[in-house]
Amino acid sequence: MTAPDIGGQSGGGFLKKLFKGVIFAAILGGGGFGAGLYFAGERLSPSQEVLKLIEKETESQQADAEDQGPKRVPKDIPETPAFQTNYHEFPEALTTNLRDGRRFLQIGIGVSTQYDQTVIDNIVAHEMALRSDMLAVLSGFSENDIQGVEGREALAATLRDSINKRLEALEGFGGVESVFFPTFMLQ
For residues 94 and 62, membership in a common domain is answered with no
For residues 101 and 164, membership in a common domain is answered with yes
Three-state SS for 182?
coil
**Listed ranges 24-38, 77-91, 153-167; the one with the highest mean pLDDT:** 153-167
Give the length of the chain. 187
Res 33: pLDDT: 74
Position 4 in a domain = no
For residues 17 and 109, membership in a common domain is answered with no
For residues 18 and 96, membership in a common domain is answered with no
Res 180: pLDDT: 96
For residues 63 and 108, membership in a common domain is answered with no
Position 81 in a domain = no
Res 71: pLDDT: 54
Q: Determine which of 80-94, 120-134, 139-153, 164-178 has the lowest per-residue pLDDT on average.
A: 80-94
Q: How confident is the model at residue 170 (pLDDT cuts 50, 70, 90)?
A: very high
Position 73 in a domain = no
CATH code for the domain in which residue 130 is found: 3.30.479.30
Res 138: pLDDT: 92
Please count the structural domains in the chain: 2
For residues 109 and 165, membership in a common domain is answered with yes
Position 159 in a domain = yes
For residues 112 and 156, membership in a common domain is answered with yes
Going by C-alpha positions, the residue among 175, 187, 179 that lies closest to residue 155 is: 179
Mean pLDDT in residue range 23-43: 74
Q: Domain range holding 146?
A: 86-186
DSSP-H helix ranges across 97-147: 117-125, 127-139
Res 102: pLDDT: 85
For residues 131 and 44, membership in a common domain is answered with no
Position 74 in a domain = no
pLDDT tens digits, one per residue of 92-122? 999 999 888 888 899 999 999 988 899 999 9
% of the chain beyond a pLDDT of 70: 76
Position 40 in a domain = yes
Mean pLDDT in residue range 15-29: 81
Res 55: pLDDT: 81
Q: Which helix (H) or strand (E) holds 186?
A: strand 184-186
pLDDT tens digits, one per residue of 37-96? 676 666 666 677 777 778 877 777 766 656 555 555 666 666 666 778 889 999 999 999
For residues 93 and 52, membership in a common domain is answered with no
Instruction: Compute φ and ψ for 92, nearest 5 degrees.
Output: -115, 145
For residues 172 and 102, membership in a common domain is answered with yes
Q: Provide the 10 A C-beta neighbour count for residue 130.
A: 23
The answer, yes or no, to whether residue 159 has pLDDT greater than 90, is yes
Position 77 in a domain = no
For residues 171 and 119, membership in a common domain is answered with yes
State the virtual CA torsion across 34, 35, 36, 40 in degrees, nearest 10.
Answer: 110
For residues 61 and 121, membership in a common domain is answered with no
Mean pLDDT in residue range 161-166: 96
The answer, yes or no, to whether residue 181 has pLDDT greater than 60, is yes
